[in-house]
Structure 1
Amino acid sequence: MPPADAHTRPWAPVDTPAGAFQLVPVDPERDLATLTRWMNDPVVAAFWELAGDESVTAAHLAPQLADGSHSTPWIGVLSGTPVSYWELYRADLDPLARHYPARPHDMGVHLLIGEERHRGRGTGTALLRAVTALVLDHVPRCTRVVAEPDVRNAPSVSAFRRAGFRLSAELDLPEKRAALMVRDRTTPRPRP
């Protein structure tokens, strides 16, 4: 899991080729309008399926913000500006674990680049590298990070590959056909 106080404490900023980047825990009062706007962007809505008013976004966040959740929602702040949304979760405690050979303390990642001007420019790859390194640095029992983007989301799958993930399998999940992407702790970190 992320640190015990992960819901209230940001991780230290890191330098990336895209700029200074920091993960900041979601604060619904501060972030709900921005997240709702991002969820209603057609590119995001096609895969997240959370378009609607703020109540839809709030309902998605609520279980993650509850005590005992195995998932933590974050805002990705790049050079002082919110640009992305992240969910870091214990994949071995998630329903996903029923669909692949999960290992104890596998961490999973969901992400979206909310600001269109940062899509298709390598920003997602740079941020994935940074977040994966943060997870592996902050969660020492984690031996790998996994993700399961929709196989139709070619830009996302490509960004994971460029960030050092490998395609392990295709999975038939209840809501999609997914590309199981895996980044092992022992995999050399890709160069920027």
Structure 2
Amino acid sequence: MDKANQRLKQIQNIVEKQKHVLILPDNAHVVLHGPDALHGATTITIDARRVLKFRSLPREAALVLSALGTPFEKNNPVPKYSVLELFACEGIKTPITIPDLWAVVYTLWTLLHTQEVMPFVFAPSIPPNDAETLSSYLLNSGLARHALDPNVPELFLLRGTFWQGAGSGPAWGVTSGWLRRPIDYAAFPPRWGEQGDMEKHRAYVAGIERDPHMLPLIMSWDDERMGYAEIVWIKENHVAAYVPGGAQDHDRGLHVLVGEEKFRGQIFSQSWFRSVTHFMFLADPRTARIIGEPKRNNPAIIKTSVDAGMHIKTAFYFPYKYSVMTCNLRERFFKEDMLQ
């Protein structure tokens, strides 16, 4: 019985030291194991394949970008963060690949999402040539940068550039993107207050798809359809005339409808609203503003918008409704921790 209890305790310890973190765009599962007793290091695995280890070192670093050579260089409000050490897993002979490193960065930002920057160093267990290749990728892609002070040895990963898509895509061989597949949009419940049969709705969506200033989307939650959205170019939309100061060339707008009752409420709305906002900023790097125009008498969607990072810019009258104009800025969306 004692041996059985000891074995059960060993299994419990293993399970307790495992943490499922995220699912990558190619559906691979990232799991953390540890920290181990030897180095206090946590192992990152992708579909049970060991990729890399990391641990916190007993020192901190800050990315100081101004006041160098003045008393404020050492005495300033810039936050200091624990320095991470990244090192190779024992027994793994093959070099760390660029896609695996991107997945590691994704994992670390999922864990440490409240930090604006993440100082780190490569451990000596990673061969110098490999470390140089990985550092070059991080620096050239914009995922990381050096400090201005050449005496600071750490590289600094940047939260804002990661969430804007840096380091991903065909140029880097990294799979990162949104699901693209043919969808029968009209199989979804009818849109905003519209009446008519399915043929009418199919004709409507077909017209939207032919319109270069609009993009119709189906939103899904774990592959279950839950909402319909239309993304527009504001400058080519009727709301442009109401934008204070005028619409900018690459402003985007959003109309959205959540058709399934079980997906309504703040628990879900904050996830899908921020996800769609994220998509609109990623779709065109020139887009600096996302603009909405919900009804003034719809406090639920206004609250959802504000909670997701938008602010109320003004109120105005369409010929058919009284609206508020909401706005989300790229700078704020990626500067702050908006994706958690």
Settle same-fold status: TM greater than 0.5: yes
1:99 aligns with 2:245: no
- Pick one of 46, 50, 55 that aligns with 2:199: 55
- The question of whether the paired residues in 2 share the 8 Å contact of 1:122 and 1:159 is answered with no
- Pick one of 164, 187, 197 that aligns with 1:33: 187
**Cα RMSD after superposing both structures:** 2.4
* Aligned counterparts of 2:251 and 2:292: Cα–Cα separation in 1: 10
* Aligned counterparts of 1:128 and 1:137: Cα–Cα separation in 2: 14
- Pick one of 202, 216, 233 that aligns with 1:90: 233
* Aligned counterparts of 1:119 and 1:170: Cα–Cα separation in 2: 25
> Partner amino acid for 2:321?
K
- The question of whether the paired residues in 2 share the 8 Å contact of 1:25 and 1:72 is answered with no
Mark the CA change 1:108 to 1:52 in structure 2 (over 3 Å): closer, same or farther.
same
1:78 aligns with 2:226: no
Identity of aligned residues (%): 24
| SS of residue paired to 1:186 | helix
- Pick one of 144, 162, 175 that aligns with 2:307: 162
- Point out which structure has higher relative CO (alpha carbons under 8 A, 6+ apart): 1
C-alpha distance after superposition, 1:2-60 (max 9, x if no partner): xxxxxxxxxx699xxxxxxx665773xx3313233xx4xxxxxxxx2213322342343
- The question of whether the paired residues in 1 share the 8 Å contact of 2:231 and 2:255 is answered with yes
Task: Provide TM-score, normalisation by structure 2.
Answer: 0.44
* Aligned counterparts of 2:182 and 2:242: Cα–Cα separation in 1: 28
> Residue in 1 aligned with 2:264?
119
- The question of whether the paired residues in 1 share the 8 Å contact of 2:275 and 2:339 is answered with no
> Partner amino acid for 2:189?
L
Mark the CA change 1:142 to 1:25 in structure 2 (over 3 Å): closer, same or farther.
farther
> Residue in 2 aligned with 1:135?
280
> Partner amino acid for 1:73?
P
- Pick one of 149, 161, 166 that aligns with 2:294: 149
- Pick one of 51, 55, 64 that aligns with 2:208: 64
Mark the CA change 1:57 to 1:143 in structure 2 (over 3 Å): closer, same or farther.
same
- The question of whether the paired residues in 2 share the 8 Å contact of 1:63 and 1:69 is answered with no
* Aligned counterparts of 2:284 and 2:250: Cα–Cα separation in 1: 9
Specify the structure having the higher radius of gyration (Cα): 2
| SS of residue paired to 1:109 | strand
Provide the aligned length of Structure 1 versus Structure 2.
162
Structure 2 stretches lacking a partner, 5+ long = 1-24, 28-177
Mark the CA change 1:85 to 1:13 in structure 2 (over 3 Å): closer, same or farther.
farther
Of 72-81 and 134-143, deviating more is 134-143
> Partner amino acid for 2:197?
D
Mark the CA change 1:93 to 1:26 in structure 2 (over 3 Å): closer, same or farther.
farther
- Pick one of 321, 330, 333 that aligns with 1:176: 321
> Partner amino acid for 1:49?
G
Mark the CA change 1:23 to 1:57 in structure 2 (over 3 Å): closer, same or farther.
farther
* Aligned counterparts of 1:98 and 1:152: Cα–Cα separation in 2: 21
> Residue in 2 aligned with 1:185?
330
| SS of residue paired to 2:248 | coil
C-alpha distance after superposition, 1:49-102 (max 9, x if no partner): 213322342343232111x52001000011010101111110111111011121
C-alpha distance after superposition, 1:142-187 (max 9, x if no partner): 0010111111111111110111000101121122111111000111
- The question of whether the paired residues in 2 share the 8 Å contact of 1:24 and 1:76 is answered with no
